[in-house]
Structure 1
Amino acid sequence: MQVKELQQQAIELLKKLIETQSFSGEEDHTADHLEKWFRDYDIPCKRHLDNVWAVNKNFEETKPTLLLNSHHDTVKPNSAYTRDPFKAEIEDGKLFGLGSNDAGGCLVSLLATFTYLFSEENLTHNILFAGTAEEEINGKNGIAALLPEIPKIDVAIVGEPTLMNLAVAEKGLVVFDAIVKGTPSHAAHPNTDNSIYKTAKVLEWFEKFKLEKVSENLGEVKVTVTQIQAGSQHNVVPAKVHLVIDVRVNDKYSNEEIEQILKEKAPVDEIHARSLRLNSSSIPLDHELVKAGIDLGMDTYGSPTLSDQTMLSCPSLKLGPGDSTRSHSANEFIYVEEVEEGIEKYIKLLGKALKEMSH
């Protein structure tokens, strides 16, 4: 199969995806487009909810499996758009449209790569492609719902815009709700147990709080108070103040460890994690995928942004065409050349790594 043909068809598919609304939870029509791609190339595929997946022709249960994954849902366009977000237009080498960069370019590049390698023989790993839903909302009907339906995954490439550099680690996320309690009273009366005044000291504690383990790839755990809510009227001191704390977790801690530390140390009356499932992720620097990428001139770095890697328990690498800074921006775009080069680089990376990765 010719790479050039796959590049052209991938761009055409990306245009169709852009012009098909696929907000998180509403991806049924873009899933239809993915199924049609597989039919056009005579590749058997399966669909679970709006997640579409397929395995390579020479799949063997005794071999480890490499997952190629990206998502086909989008956020809603913001109010700063001056273009029609659902119109795919190419100008000056840029393909404009909602989801073009995050993560349509990655999705079609991985799909073209899977198609190119579909009939390859004597690979060290099986290849499984999955185009998944609800990534933008970490939804239960996305990759989390698909994982029980597919073969066991041993290593993964997750397609997100990284300028085709190797994101070898990704921070996890835990959101905490905390309560600072005080004594409610009329504002006109003395009160030495004012919950809002007490919260000032709590905020100072969070601002200065540091966790000691620093990651080589992801740096420190970042703890940030992002919301405060208290009071209902001007003349009443409230009984409590509600805080929301956003914690970006490096690969030196589990989410459960972070929860335990804050429960023991934070100077609040109550603190509870909303969820512990969005874990940090990483891949060893001496993994064949990483070494192959470095040999191809790709740089390594740690990513502060979340992806479907958080749902995977195996080593995983985030890699894809496009630039993360364009994601969720007005008049989103990806360079056509980025998609074309992405397909070439994915094929070279896997061609090199899948001949070197041992069972």
Structure 2
Amino acid sequence: MSDSRLTTHDSLYTDAINLLKQLVATPSFSKEEDGTATIIEQFFQSKNIPSQRFLNNVWAINKYFDSLKPTLLLNSHHDTVKPNAKYTKNPFEPIEEDGKLYGLGSNDAGGCLVSLIAAFVYFFDKENLPFNIVIAATAEEEITGKNGIEALLKNETFLSSTGFANSPFGGWGAIVGEPTQMELAVAEKGLMVIDATAQGVAGHAARNEGDNALYKAVKDIHWFETFKYPKVSEWLGEVKQTVTVIETENKAHNVVPATCKFVVDIRIPDCYTHEEIIHIIKENIQSDFKERSVRLRSTRIEVEHPLVKSGIALGKKPYGSPTCSDKALIPFPALKCGPGFSGRSHTADEFIFLDEIKDGIETYIKMIESIVI
């Protein structure tokens, strides 16, 4: 990497690709991101940009930070899932081939992260910006862990240094880097997972004994499959309920099961709260159930927000995303937008097109430049 300040889009792109290759070559499974956090710190140091770190989260603020101005947060994650068994390439070897960069985390979300970092570097020493810019490279996104963006947004040093704690504007806005092909994910479904248990009475299958918990579970599963919630979101459509696991405790063929457990994945649009969904489920199924978490709420940034308007002005389209991200854990307006294609995430031989990163950098810069407060 060059020691000089990046000033052109070409050098921004070159340094972004070099940084991404280092990140790919360094295993960074969720909760094990120490190595990539250090690499990101070293990158900022090479650009003479002061950075700070909390756990495995690294952040930096623009040179002419002004506490009287609103702050724009640029955020993406540097943790990855573990590679699946279908890889034919070394997941930790960054390989350029046919205009693509292969490697674990290249698409989700390394390309987004290095593009946001490049945009931040571009604006770092610009004077008279209408807002502050903070870059945060965070951990544990893939497992929605509590030591990633959620912990950072509660850290007193981060809050005081970025102005989020005492700014009259509060949390003004954020761009969350996830692969959206640079389209504008203005809304995102929330997630709730429930563990349900149908209760019965054990008995011998050859005699008319017991109360089959499996049959009870099947009735409830049928409700989850067929029930239509009356409200439909403008951006996110209907509630989606999917039963993903079912099991009984006994494995003997001749025993009527006393309990049957099943798991339901529920994707919740912005027209319902988690509590409303829980109430409706209680009224309609026999099985006992418990929700694992209610942290991942549906989120929405208004189309009239300056961030979204700047993207639309560049010809980008707003849409509702069915997948969750750290956007759900940011308690102020956040736009999900980044280079890459969501369908490549977590696949074998993951890759991102090099041109997608170049376009991502240029689009982020243009979007930020055109924000009107």
Q: Do they superpose with TM above 0.5?
A: yes
Give the superposition deviation at 1:259: 2.0
Q: State the match for 2:326 in structure 1.
A: 308
Q: Residue 354 of structure 2 aligns to which amino acid in structure 1? A: V
Q: Secondary structure at the match of 1:163?
A: coil
Q: Residue 262 of structure 1 aligns to which amino acid in structure 2? A: I
Q: State the match for 1:278 in structure 2.
A: 296
1:99 aligns with 2:105: yes
Give the superposition deviation at 1:121: 2.5
Q: State the match for 1:244 in structure 2.
A: 263
Q: Secondary structure at the match of 2:67?
A: coil
Q: State the match for 2:308 in structure 1.
A: 290
Alignment of 1:177-196 (within 5 A): 177-191=195-209, 193-196=211-214
Q: State the match for 1:7 in structure 2.
A: 13
Answer yes or no: is the 8 Å Cα contact 1:178–1:268 preserved in 2. no
1:142 aligns with 2:160: no
Q: Alignment partner for residue 299 of structure 1, among 304, 317, 325? A: 317
Q: State the match for 1:226 in structure 2.
A: 244
1:85 aligns with 2:103: no
Distance 1:259 1:123 in 2: 45
Answer yes or no: is the 8 Å Cα contact 1:74–1:102 preserved in 2. yes
Q: Residue 20 of structure 2 aligns to which amino acid in structure 1? A: L
Distance 1:100 1:200 in 2: 41
Q: In the TM superposition, what whole-angstrom CA distance separates every residue of 1:12-70 from its partner, at most 9, and x where no partner exists?
A: 00011111111111111101110011111111110001100011112222322211000
Alignment of 1:101-180 (within 5 A): 101-149=107-155, 150-151=158-159, 152=164, 153-180=171-198
Q: In the TM superposition, what whole-angstrom CA distance separates every residue of 1:54-100 from its partner, at most 9, and x where no partner exists?
A: 11112222322211000001111111111111111111111111111
Distance 2:353 2:67 in 1: 38
Q: State the match for 2:168 in structure 1.
A: none
Runs ≥4 residues deviating over 4 A: none
Give 5+ residue unaligned stretches, structure 1: none
**Cα RMSD after superposing both structures:** 1.2
Give the superposition deviation at 1:260: 2.5
Give the superposition deviation at 1:192: 6.6
Q: Secondary structure at the match of 2:278?
A: helix
Distance 1:299 1:69 in 2: 20
Q: State the match for 2:335 in structure 1.
A: 317
How many residue pairs end up in the alignment?
Answer: 354
Distance 2:13 2:108 in 1: 18
Distance 1:40 1:259 in 2: 51
Give 5+ residue unaligned stretches, structure 2: 1-6, 165-170
Q: Alignment partner for residue 261 of structure 1, among 274, 280, 283? A: 280
Answer yes or no: is the 8 Å Cα contact 2:211–2:256 preserved in 1. no
Answer yes or no: is the 8 Å Cα contact 1:161–1:324 preserved in 2. yes
Q: Residue 351 of structure 1 aligns to which amino acid in structure 2? A: E
Distance 1:79 1:193 in 2: 42
Q: Alignment partner for residue 346 of structure 1, among 364, 368, 373? A: 364
Distance 1:191 1:128 in 2: 66
Q: Residue 107 of structure 1 aligns to which amino acid in structure 2? A: L
Give the superposition deviation at 1:291: 1.2
Distance 2:273 2:63 in 1: 37
Distance 1:302 1:21 in 2: 32
Distance 1:191 1:214 in 2: 44
Q: Secondary structure at the match of 1:148?
A: coil
Q: State the match for 2:28 in structure 1.
A: 22
1:49 aligns with 2:55: yes
The normalised TM-score by structure 1 is: 0.96
Answer yes or no: is the 8 Å Cα contact 2:203–2:211 preserved in 1. no
52-61 vs 321-330, which deviates more? 52-61
Answer yes or no: is the 8 Å Cα contact 1:179–1:268 preserved in 2. no
Answer yes or no: is the 8 Å Cα contact 1:230–1:242 preserved in 2. yes
